[in-house]
Chains A and B, each alone.
Chain A
Amino acid sequence: MAKTTSNSSNSVSVVRSEMAPDMPPPIRTDGIVAWLRSNLFNSVSNSILTILSVLMIYYALSALIGYVVADAIWQGTTGTDCRVEGSGMCWPYIFNKLDFFIYGFYPDTEYWRPNIAFAIGAVLLFLLATPRIPGKMIWGFLFLIVYPVVTFFLINGGGFTGLVEVPTEKWGGLMLTLVVAVTGIVASFPLGILLALGRRSKMPMMRSVCVVFIELWRGVPLITVLFMASVMLPLFLPEGTNFDKLVRALVGVTLFTAAYTAEVVRGGLQAVDKGQYEAADALGLNYAQATTLIILPQALKMVIPGIVNNSISLFKDTTLVSIVGLVDILGAVRAASASQGWTAPTIPITGYFFAAAVFWVFTFAMSRYSQYMERQLDTGHKS
C-alpha cells in the first residue's frame, strides 16, 4: 500500500516512491519441541495443567488397560476359570456368549438372515452418507422405503418368503437394539420435520394440534411411553386386536423421538433469515417449493448437531425397551450373567463393560460423522 499525498513542505506528508515487494512468510518453527513449548508449556499455569492432565490420563488409561488386557482372563471354558483374585475382565464369557449378545434368542441356523440385512443396511447407509457418491435420491428411497420392508421379511421370515418364521419375540441382543434405534431415528425424522412445520403454520388448528402433540410427548419420560404402549394401549384397543410387542415399542419410540426432533428442527427454521422466505415468495415459489428447496436445506444443516445429539440419546435409551420384556443388548448381557456355569464376581461387570463398549463405538461413530457432515455442508454461508 502506497500512501500518496501532495508533497507540500508539511512534515506530515509522506510519499512512497517505491512499492514494497511481497515478502515470504516468516519461517515456521516446526518440530515437536517447539510445538510442545508453544502449546503445552507456554506459561506456568499451562504447564501445571499439562502435567496434571498427563497424570490423569495415565492413571485412567493404565487402570483401563490393566482391567481389559493385562489383568484380564483370556483362557477358560466356565465361570470358575474367572474366579481369580484381583483379575480383570472375563473374556471367555464374552466369547462364549457373543452370539447371544448379538442375536438374542434368534435361532443360530438362521443367523445369516440378520447378517445379510445388516450388510445391506451398511452398504446403503454408506452410499447415502458419502457426499461424493451420486444418486442420493435412489439410495435414500432404497434405504428409507425399500430396506425396512426387506429387512422385516428377511429377519421375520414366514409367509411367502419360504423362510422359517422367526417371530419378533425371538429377536434380541444388538440386533434388536439396532432395529429399534434405526427405526426410531429414521421414522421419527420426517415426522419431526412435519411437526415442526406444523407448529409454525399459519393455520391455527394445525398449529394447535402440533403444539399439543409435541408438548405431550416431550413431557413424558420414554420409560412411561414404553410402559403405556405395552400395558395401556391394549386396554384402549378393541378386544382381540393383538399388536406385536416390538411394533408397539417401535411406535412409542418413534413418536417420542419425533417430538424432540420437531423442537430441534423448529429452532433451525427460526434461525433461517426472514429474507430467505421473502426471496422465495418474491420469485413465485409456492409453500412446498420454498420449504423443501430453500428453507429446510438451510434449517436442517444448522440442526445437524442437535439431531445427532437426539439420535445418540435415543440409541442409548433403547435400553429401556427391556421394561416391556424385549431383550436388547443390555437385556441380553443381564440375562446371560445369571446363566448356568458363568457365576463369578467379574461376570456382570464384564458384561456391562462389553455393552458399554458397543454403545460407545456406535455413538462415537455417529458423532464423528456429524462433524464430518457439518464441514462438508459448509459452503461459507451467510449472504
Chain B
Amino acid sequence: MAKNAKAQSQDKSPNNGAAKMEVSKTEVAVEITNMAKWYGEFNVLKDINFKVMKGERIVIAGPSGSGKSTLIRCINRLEEHQQGHIVVNGIELTNDLKKIDEVRREVGMVFQHFNLFPHLTILQNLTLAPIWVRKTPKAEAEEVAMHYLERVKIPEQALKYPGQLSGGQQQRVAIARSLCMNPEIMLFDEPTSALDPEMIKEVLDVMVSLAEEGMTMLCVTHEMGFARKVANRVMFMDEGQIIEQNEPEEFFSNPKHERTKLFLSQILH
C-alpha cells in the first residue's frame, strides 16, 4: 500500500484516464434491484441496488466479511440470490441454466487465488474455454491466446505449467484467460491480495490498461491508488449493505459515513 500516503493529499493523482474512458449513458451492463441473499439463517446481502453502465469501472471496498465477494459472485451466478433481480447485459439471472451460461460467456472473472488449471499448460488454460464453449477452431484460439499473453507480457511462458510461474505471472495469465472469451464485463475479486508486494504492480498495470480500453469492470480491491486512477465510483460495503458510494476523489477526501471514515483511517493508517 505504498500509494496510500498519497491518498491523503488531494492535489495529487488527477483522474487522468477519465477522458479516454468513455462511459455509456444509455447502455446498462449490470442492474441489481432489491437484491438479498442468505446463507441459511445468515442474511449476507441486504437491499442491494445499483446500476453499472457500459464502460463503467466500479471499485468495491469494505471490511473482510462484509459480503463483497458474495456480491460480485452473484453477478455471474457462482452464488444464487434469493430475492430481487440481477440483470446482466439485458439477461435476468434466474434458475434458467441457458441464461446462466449466456451470462457467464459474457462475464469474465479473476479470483484472488488465480484458479488456473494446474494440469494444463498456460496456452491450454487460455484456449480451453474458447474451444469448448465458443467452439473456436483450435488454431484460431491459440492465436488469440498468444495475442493476450503478449498483452499481459508473458508470451514466452505459453508452454509452461501454472506451477512454474510466479504469483504475479499466474494472475496475469488468469486475466488473459478471461479475456480470451472476449467478455463484456470483468469481475475481479481481490486480484492482488494474494500477491507479494513486488508483484502487485504488474497485475495492476494490466488492469489499468484494460480500464483504459473501456472494459466494464467491477473490482473488489483495497488498492486505493488503483481506485483513484481508474474508478468512476467507489462503493463501500459493510454488513452486507452498500453504505456509501461516491466518485473516488470525494470518497477518499470526504467520506460521509462513520464506518467509511473508520475503514479508510485503518487502511490508510
Task: Please give the residue numbers on chain A whose beta carbons come within 8 Å of chain B beta carbons, in ascending order.
Answer: 273, 275-276, 278-279, 281-286, 289, 293-294, 297-298, 301, 377, 379-383
- With A279-B111, A293-B128 as known contacts, state yes or no: A379 contacts B133, CB within 8 Å: no
Q: Which residue of the partner chain B has the closest CB to A381?
A: B118
Please give me the residue from chain A that is nearest to B124 by CB atom: A293
Min C-beta distance of B13 to chain A, whole Å: 30
> Nearest B residue to A301 by beta-carbon distance?
B119
For A383, the chain B residues whose CB sits under 8 A away are: 113-118, 162-163, 170
- Within the complex, what minimum Cβ distance (angstroms) separates A100 from chain B? 47
Known contacts A379-B161, A383-B170; decide if A285 and B133 are in contact (CB<8 Å). yes
Known: A279-B117, A379-B119. 15 other contacts (CB 8 A): A273-B115, A278-B109, A279-B109, A279-B116, A281-B104, A282-B104, A283-B128, A283-B133, A284-B105, A284-B181, A293-B132, A298-B117, A383-B114, A383-B116, A383-B170
CB distance from B174 to the nearest CB of A (A): 8
Determine whether the beta carbon of A279 is less than 8 Å from that of B105: no
B108 interfacial by beta-carbon distance below 8 Å:
yes
Is the CB–CB distance between A380 and B132 below 8 Å? no
> Could you list 27 examples of A-B contacts with CB < 8 Å?
A275-B113, A275-B115, A276-B115, A278-B78, A278-B115, A279-B116, A279-B117, A281-B78, A281-B104, A282-B76, A282-B78, A282-B178, A283-B104, A283-B128, A284-B129, A285-B133, A289-B132, A289-B133, A293-B132, A298-B118, A298-B119, A380-B161, A381-B161, A382-B163, A383-B114, A383-B116, A383-B162
Contacts of A284 in B (CB 8 A): 101, 104-105, 129, 133, 181
Residues of B within 8 A of A301 (CB): 119
Q: CB-nearest residue of chain A relative to B173?
A: A383
The winner among A285, A298, A383 for most chain B CB atoms within 10 A is A383
Q: Which residues of B contact A273 (CB under 8 A)?
A: 115
In whole angstroms, how far apart are the Cα atoms of A161 and B144 in the complex?
Answer: 53
Q: How far is the CB of B79 from chain A (nearest CB, A)?
A: 10
Query: Within the assembled complex, what's the spacing in Å between the Cα atoms of A383 and B116?
Result: 6
Query: At the interface, yes or no: B177 with Cβ under 8 Å from chain A?
Result: yes
How many Cβ-Cβ contacts under 8 Å join chain A to chain B? 77
Q: Name the distance in Å between B128's Cβ and chain A's nearest Cβ.
A: 6
The answer to whether A285 touches B129, judged by C-beta atoms less than 8 angstroms apart, is yes
**Smallest CB-CB separation from B79: which chain A residue?**
A278
Q: Does B164 make an interface contact (CB < 8 A)?
A: yes
CA A284 – CA B178 in complex, angstroms? 10
CA distance A279 to B76 in the complex (A): 11
B203 to chain A, nearest CB (A): 15
Per the bound structure, the CA–CA distance linking A369 and B116 in Å amounts to: 29
B113 touching A294, Cβ below 8 Å = no
Evaluate whether A275 and B118 lie within 8 angstroms (CB atoms) in the complex, with A282-B76, A382-B163 already known.
no
A381–B119 touching, CB < 8 Å: yes
Q: How far is the CA of A278 from the CA of B78 in the complex (A)?
A: 7
Contacts of B115 in A (CB 8 A): 273, 275-276, 278-279, 383
Binary CB contact string for chain B from 197 to 236 against chain A (1 if under 8 A, 0 otherwise): 0000000000000000000000000000000000000000
Q: Which residues of B contact A380 (CB under 8 A)?
A: 161, 163-164
Chain B residues whose CB sits within 8 angstroms of the CB of A382 once the complex forms? 118, 163
Cβ-closest chain B residue relative to A278: B78
Asked if A379 contacts B118 (CB within 8 A), the reply is yes
- With a cutoff of 8 Å between Cβ atoms, the chain B residues found around residue A293 in the complex are 128, 132
Point out the residues of chain A lying under 8 angstroms from B164, CB to CB.
Answer: 380
Residues of A with C-beta under 8 A to B178? 282-283
Within 8 A of A (CB), among B126-143: 128-129, 132-133
Q: Which of B105, B116, B119, B163 contacts A297 (CB 8 A)?
A: B119
Residue of B nearest to A379 (CB): B161
Q: Closest approach, in angstroms, between the C-beta of B61 and any C-beta of chain A?
A: 22
CB distance from B234 to the nearest CB of A (A): 24
For residue A279, which residue of chain B has the nearest CB?
B115
From A289, which residue of chain B is reached at the shortest CB distance? B132
Contact of B117 among A282, A289, A294 (CB under 8 A): A294
Interface centre among B111, B128, B132, B163 (most CB of A within 10 A): B132
Distance of B255 from chain A, by nearest CB (Å): 32
